[in-house]
Amino acid sequence: METLERILAEHPFFKDLSDPYLKLVTGCASNVRFEPDKFIFREGEEADQFYLIRQGRVALQVFLPDRGSITVETLEEGDILGWSWLIPPYHWHFDARALELTRAIALDGRCLRNKCEEDRSLGYELLKRFAHIMEDRLSSTRLQLLDLYGVRS
Amino acid sequence: MVSAPDVHGKSADSVVNPMLPALYTIQRVKRETDDTFTLELVPESDRHKISFLPGQFIMVYVFGVGEVPLSISGDAAGTVLVHTIRAVGIVTRVMSRLRRGDKVGIRGPFGTAWPVQEAQGHDVVLIAGGIGLPPLRPVLYHVLSRREEFGKVVLLYGTRTPSDILFRDELEQWRARFDLEVHVTVDRAQSGWRGNVGVVTTLIHKSSFDPQKTIAMVCGPEAMMRFSALELQRRGVSTNSIYLSMERNMKCAIGLCGHCQFGPLFVCKDGPVFRYSHIKDLLVKWEI
Amino acid sequence: MSTTTPLRIELSAIDGIISSLRQQHYTVVGPTVRGASIVLDEISSTSDLPVGWMCEQAPARYRLIKLPVDSLFAHTVGPHSWKQYLFPPILRLFSANRNDGEIRIGDGLPGSDVPGAGDAVRPYAFLGVRSCDLHAILIQDKIFGGGPYQDAYYRRVREQTWIIAVNCTLASATCFCASTKTGPKASSGYDLALTEVITEQDHYFIVEVGTERGLKLLEGLNHRPANESETARAAELVEGTASQMARSLETENIREVLYQSADHTRWEAVAKRCLTCANCTMVCPTCFCATVEDTVDLTGMRAERLRKWDSCFNMDFSYIHGGSVRSSVKARYRHWLTHKLASWIDQFGTLGCVGCGRCITWCPVGIDITEEYRAIRDTTLTNLVPSSTEEVENGNA
């Protein structure tokens, strides 16, 4: 448990989170590992975790009947994977699949949700951090949608 | 009496006319992707041999069709002039049909260069978007030829789809080096693509360089460069250490035709490579 | 060089100047009446000049008026400017010939046997260059000959060109050279500068000599040092011209004002009137933008590149694959005016406007550069500068 706590403390996502909160969060954390091509989660499943990727690469995918699994974004070491655990009805919107051997710390969303409800300031701390990530992903997605490298005719 | 000032004390008669192209022969044509190809050119006579700095550009003329500004994608230390060209307009489309032995006219090199001298002793971060990779390749050649003079070297390359990736073989070689960090990403993946998906700016916080001692060179569509510069700043790179290569309409390449004006600047002679701090206010004045 | 005492020459000496220059194989170019306006063209005697004509100018208005005197230079500037000779509207830059896969490219300059920018031209003598236009030529000297790259054609032609200036003794309603400090009196850059004086009994010219060759030209002609009252009369006329000017451009802080005003609402207002016809840029004596046009003949063996005047008002001007950088009218007008009055200073160390007023006269909807700038300046100065100092004071309190 001590090493998990240290890993979390050193991660930019949890930077400056107070010690008691860090301990709370660590209580909901566990080490996980995914073999290449393994699904981490799948569209429609209940979202009760999020992941802090420590190693490897993960593809967020949508399956299209005529085109197969299309990757819309890839995440890797240092990235946070998943926020559907925060937002009702707590279901995943995409498939997440390990592209290579991936190690991560899984955080139990249900456990965290309960703790956040009990302690609103922990909830605020976590939401603030997720808001930052969402903002990042949203602006990247907007840029991606611009199709900047396409030839206009 | 008032007369036009002398250049290097030469009379008007002996001044080389910068508008007159010199003939070059195509030595090799290489298809890179569906719409992009590389030409290797050699001068018809030694008199017209040019030397250039990474980042400079050439005006290339196709007989009777027209002239376009093209960045140089080859090694500045090499003996051939290399251009990697995307066929998007009339001239470049005709160019894409030229073959070995055909002739083109060239003028140049023109414009400012990437800060390869200033980058010595620094970490070097190259960020390329789409057809912005070719103008940065000479920097990479230069840096790799004297690798020990530079700190960490990072190449971040984003393009539209996996089939638009340029210089695949070289990218593989570069990626295999231990002294070079290479990340490639695409905006749109096809099924089966196992590489990165996402805009190139997302790679910036994932690569390892020391923002305090980094020189960043960015080349690609203007919006991509703006957002890359913001992301670099967020990582702590100073606006003085970020360089962008601008694109504007060019006809003369020597500051006489007025087309490439960007505020008070002429992209052809004050650029195309600009220090970000120098142009960042202009970049957010729309239609300037 | 310039001589200290001005000279007096008679009306007849003007013909002497013209014929002497023509004998030396100069193409003498001067103002002449064509249709309903005074244009520039080759002249062979004073009778080709606009004898007894003056022009009335106002925004989008130009007409000639016949005077009861035989003046030569009572008019002001017309739709043409001298740039059409030094920077021709169409110039062949080079030709290329293809034969059996071999291509020869040449520009007609020494060392090239293929025609191009170096094609033979007879040297020019400009007669009747107004101070505003003389300043415009000096500005184009900087553009085409002052940087690391030079325009081979411009330099070659310009070096031989004679400039016989004429100081203005009448201003048009669109003139504002006094405020841009580019007239109405020619101060330098000429071979000779003339002031036409017409009194009830007399018609003569006061001549200031700017070059040795100018002085030499006068040698065969009847001239004498002007007396004090003749010189004073000429000076009075020119000073009178300056005070006639109803328009002005406030040049103080002009660059700063415009750089602060990229988002000014006035640009939207003027864009509603501007037709982007490019007239202002065509008649402007300093506008220097050009495009190139590549052509090939029907055999496919002979190609040429032509340089043609272009205008920043044209949509294609700023085209980069897929679109134009300045597609709105607002952006194009803003670019033109800001270039003339602000960025030109950064680029060439001088205003790009010489106060000739052509862009006002020849604008089909009568847009007035002085009025547009004043509108921006008035609101910018009151809105931006005072409020920013106030804020600092309040902030410190």
Tell me the pLDDT tens digit for each residue of B241-258: 999 999 999 999 999 999
| pLDDT on residue B11 | 43
Q: Residue C97 pLDDT more than 90?
A: yes
β strands within C11-166, DSSP E = 27-34, 37-42, 53-58, 61-66, 90-99, 102-106, 124-129, 162-166
Asked whether residue C234 falls in the same domain as residue C323, the answer is no
Residue C55 maps to a domain? yes
| pLDDT on residue B288 | 94
| pLDDT on residue B50 | 87
Asked whether residue C220 falls in the same domain as residue C319, the answer is no
| CATH number of this structure's domain B16-110, picked from the four choices 2.40.30.10, 3.40.50.620, 1.10.1040.10, 2.130.10.10 | 2.40.30.10
Asked whether residue C139 falls in the same domain as residue C52, the answer is yes
Among the ranges given (B156-170, C89-103, C283-297, C377-391), the one the predictor scored with the smallest mean pLDDT: C377-391
Looking at per-residue pLDDT, the higher value among B15 and C330 belongs to C330
**How distant is the Cα of C334 from the closest Cα of chain B, in angstroms?**
8
Domain with CATH 2.40.30.10 in chain B: 16-110
**How distant is the Cα of C298 from the closest Cα of chain A, in angstroms?**
29
Condensed to tens digits (0 to 9), the pLDDT of residues B77-96 reads 999 999 999 999 999 999 99
Q: Residue C101 pLDDT more than 90?
A: no
Is 3.40.50.80 the CATH number for B123-245?
yes
Among the ranges given (B66-70, B165-169, C383-387), the one the predictor scored with the smallest mean pLDDT: C383-387
Asked whether residue C189 falls in the same domain as residue C268, the answer is no
- Are A151 and C322 in contact (CB < 8 Å)? yes
pLDDT cut 70: percent of chain A above it: 97
Provide mean pLDDT across the span C344-367.
98
C215 in Cβ contact with C3 (< 8 Å): yes
**How distant is the Cα of A118 from the closest Cα of chain B, in angstroms?**
34
Closest by CA to B221, choosing from B199, B246, B187, B204, is B246
**All domains in chain A, ordered by first residue:** 2-145 (2.60.120.10)
Q: Indicate the burial class of C390 (C-beta count within 10 angstroms; 0-12, 13-18, 19 or more).
A: exposed
Q: Look up residue A92 and give its two tokens.
A: 């995943």
Looking at per-residue pLDDT, the higher value among C48 and A4 belongs to C48
Asked whether residue C82 falls in the same domain as residue C227, the answer is yes
Radius of gyration of chain C (CA): 23
Q: Does A101 touch chain B (CB under 8 A)?
A: no
- Are C321 and A152 in contact (CB < 8 Å)? yes
Closest by CA to C11, choosing from C169, C202, C272, is C202
Q: Which residues form the domain of C382?
A: 254-277+313-350+367-388
Q: Residue B8 pLDDT more than 70?
A: no
Chain mean pLDDT for chain C:
93
Provide mean pLDDT across the span C120-144.
95
| pLDDT on residue C383 | 57
| pLDDT on residue C4 | 66
Residue C176 maps to a domain? yes
Condensed to tens digits (0 to 9), the pLDDT of residues C312-322 reads 999 999 999 87
Domain with CATH 3.40.50.80 in chain B: 123-245
Looking at per-residue pLDDT, the higher value among A81 and C5 belongs to A81
Cβ count within 10 A of residue A67: 10
Condensed to tens digits (0 to 9), the pLDDT of residues A20-65 reads 999 999 999 999 999 999 999 999 999 999 999 999 999 999 999 9
Cβ count within 10 A of residue B11: 11
**Contacts of A88 by beta carbon, 8 Å cutoff, 6+ apart:** none
Helix (H) or strand (E) holding C310: none
**How distant is the Cα of C321 from the closest Cα of chain A, in angstroms?**
8
Phi-psi group of C315: left, alpha or beta (phi > 0 → left; psi -120 to 50 → alpha; rest → beta): alpha
Condensed to tens digits (0 to 9), the pLDDT of residues A91-114 reads 999 999 999 999 999 999 999 999
Please, which chains are in contact with C (at least 3 CB pairs closer than 8 A)? A, B
Q: How confident is the model at residue C116 (pLDDT cuts 50, 70, 90)?
A: confident
Residue C308 maps to a domain? no
Residue C330 maps to a domain? yes
Condensed to tens digits (0 to 9), the pLDDT of residues C27-69 reads 999 999 999 999 999 999 999 999 999 999 999 999 999 999 9
Asked whether residue C237 falls in the same domain as residue C273, the answer is no
Residue C56 maps to a domain? yes
Residue C324 maps to a domain? yes
**Total count of domains within chain C:** 2
| pLDDT on residue A2 | 56
Best-predicted range by mean pLDDT (B3-12, C104-113, C269-278): C269-278
- Are B288 and C262 in contact (CB < 8 Å)? yes
| pLDDT on residue B5 | 37
Asked whether residue C187 falls in the same domain as residue C231, the answer is yes
Report chain A residues whose CB lies below 8 A from the CB of C322. 151-153
Tell me how many residue pairs between chain A and chain C have CB atoms under 8 A apart: 6
Q: Residue B51 pLDDT more than 80?
A: yes
| pLDDT on residue C3 | 52
- Are A151 and B220 in contact (CB < 8 Å)? no
ipTM for the predicted complex: 0.92
| pLDDT on residue A38 | 97
- Are A68 and B192 in contact (CB < 8 Å)? yes
| pLDDT on residue C392 | 39
pLDDT cut 70: percent of chain C above it: 95
Alpha-carbon gap, residue B118 to B110, rounded angstroms: 20
Closest by CA to B184, choosing from B157, B223, B218, B150, is B157
- Listing from the earlier edge strand, what are the strands of the sheet with A57-64? A39-41, A95-98, A57-64, A68-76
Residue C209 maps to a domain? yes
Asked whether residue C29 falls in the same domain as residue C171, the answer is yes
Asked whether residue C125 falls in the same domain as residue C167, the answer is yes
Q: Look up residue B235 and give its two tokens.
A: 């990582």
Q: How confident is the model at residue A152 (pLDDT cuts 50, 70, 90)?
A: low
B107 in Cβ contact with B62 (< 8 Å): no
Amino acid at B146: R
Condensed to tens digits (0 to 9), the pLDDT of residues B211-231 reads 999 999 999 999 999 999 999
Report chain C residues whose CB lies below 8 A from the CB of A153. 322
| pLDDT on residue B2 | 38
